[in-house]
């Protein structure tokens, strides 16, 4: 008598590795009232600045304090600016236990390099991080020839990124090398995402809502000076300062 084998049910999910870009909020205080004031001073009413970006909370600079951290209040505060806190790192054992209890994952010890656009929040000075400089990436280029709409994100890992169409407000272009946009750049542009301080951002029409090179960034109304807005321009690092310059042909 023939044996009929039941058909194997198709898999309903796959498990795959993925590399995600996180913005790091490096706390220098456990005082949420002070943090709220600084966020309001820095970003004002621009509560859509981060548009659902994933956030890593770096506790390394407050790990020695005995003060408890209200992680529920902290995550609620960051969500007001459309940040989505997902992991914490660098805290004391008690702090990390409290973070886990609040639903935050613990970032692995190897994940210590600041992600693109890391924000250090404690004072009105320009946000900055100090990643160790890395060698420039190999001469590889990723091309994008279609417009990028709000919410879309392109990451050129280990490469330069060339965009031949508009980058709309709310879209994000990221590269480990240089970012070239031969059209209006109205969204967020992040070059040198892994710490390459020699990376630059170029645009034929600079109107970016956020610019970042090697972790140093400018955002909001001050991202692009009024005299350069809408003009061909480049962004480069000079020490710990972002320099924007008009490109004249």
Per-residue b or e along 63-95, where b marks 16 or more CB atoms closer than 10 Å to that residue's CB: beeeeebebeebbebbeebebebbbbbbbbeeb
Nearest by Cα to 166 from 186, 152, 180: 186
Q: Which residues contact 131 (CB under 8 A, 6 or more apart)?
A: 113, 114, 194, 195, 214, 215
User: CA 182, CA 213: separation in Å to the nearest integer?
Assistant: 18
Nearest by Cα to 195 from 237, 154, 230, 232: 237
Which tokens belong to 84?
Answer: 């989505």
- Per the listing, tokens 């820095």 go with 42
pLDDT value at position 131?
Answer: 45
Q: What is the DSSP string of 51-95?
A: TTEEEEEE-TTTTT--S---HHHHHHHHHTTTEEEEEEES--HHH
pLDDT value at position 209?
Answer: 92
Q: Which residues contact 197 (CB under 8 A, 6 or more apart)?
A: 133, 213, 214, 237
User: CA 174, CA 116: separation in Å to the nearest integer?
Assistant: 8
Instruction: Name the β-bridge partners of 54.
Output: 84
Nearest by Cα to 208 from 170, 240, 246: 170
pLDDT value at position 77?
Answer: 93
pLDDT value at position 173?
Answer: 94
Low-confidence ranges of the chain (pLDDT < 50): 110-132, 134-138
pLDDT value at position 4?
Answer: 59
Q: Please give the model's pTM, rounded to 2 decimal places.
A: 0.53
């Amino acid at each position: 008598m023939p044996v009929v084998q039941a058909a194997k049910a198709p898999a309903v999910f796959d498990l795959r590795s993925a590399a995600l870009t996180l913005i790091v909020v490096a706390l220098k205080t456990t005082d949420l009232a002070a943090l709220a004031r600084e966020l309001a001073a820095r970003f004002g009413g621009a509560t859509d600045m981060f548009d659902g970006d994933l956030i890593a909370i770096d506790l390394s600079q407050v790990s020695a304090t005995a003060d408890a951290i209200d992680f529920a209040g902290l995550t609620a505060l960051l969500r007001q600016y459309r940040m989505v806190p997902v992991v914490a790192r660098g805290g004391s054992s008690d702090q990390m236990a409290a973070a886990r209890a609040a639903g935050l994952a613990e970032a692995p010890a190897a994940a210590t390099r600041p992600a693109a656009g890391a924000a250090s929040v404690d004072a009105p000075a320009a946000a900055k991080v100090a990643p160790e400089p890395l060698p420039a990436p190999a001469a590889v280029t990723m091309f994008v020839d279609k417009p990028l709409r709000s919410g879309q994100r392109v990451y050129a890992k280990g490469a330069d990124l060339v965009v031949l169409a508009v980058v709309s407000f709310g879209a994000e272009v990221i590269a480990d090398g240089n970012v070239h946009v031969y059209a209006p750049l109205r969204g967020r542009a992040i070059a040198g995402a892994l710490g390459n301080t020699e990376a630059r951002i170029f645009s034929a029409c600079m109107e970016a809502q956020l610019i970042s090179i090697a972790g140093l960034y400018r955002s909001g109304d001050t991202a692009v000076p009024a005299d350069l807005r809408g003009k061909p321009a480049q962004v480069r690092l000079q020490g710990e300062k972002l320099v924007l310059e008009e490109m004249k042909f």
